[in-house]
Amino acid sequence: MGKLTFDKYVYLTIAESLHKAYLKQNKNREGIGFVLFCKMINHEKKDNRLNSFNVRLLIKLIDDVNQLFKFEDAKLFNYINNFFDFNDETIRQYSQYISLMNSLYPVSRGLNN
């Protein structure tokens, strides 16, 4: 992932919020991978056919990011849309970074539920 810049911290916050939702959805079963999970949400978002789970997920995502960064709506939506448009490898790297941090610091799980 390279040097952590401000933008990468924002994207990491987005990834962490999405990763928590992903783990919650796939808790008791073999589920889809995190990258595919993000790609499916992005596809549904672009087609304006989000299901209720994904609408709640995006609302929670907006709240999580705003708790830390207090962006204007346009800037926040730009970050979120950019994250969903990342290539698979970039999303996978964010997921691996979150998994690593959770294994190193199991007591602190990041964003509140």
The pLDDT tens digits of the residues spanning 41-69 come to 999 999 999 999 899 999 999 999 999 99
- Please state, in angstroms and rounded to a whole number, the distance separating the CA atoms of residues 63 and 57: 10
What is the per-residue pLDDT across 79-109, written as a single tens digit (0 to 9) for each?
A: 999 999 999 999 999 988 888 888 887 655 5
Percent over 90 (pLDDT), the chain:
62
Let me know: does 61 contact 14? Beta carbons within 8 Å: yes
Let me know: does 94 contact 113? Beta carbons within 8 Å: no
What is the domain partition of the chain in residue ranges?
A: 6-104
Q: Is the pLDDT of residue 20 over 60?
A: yes
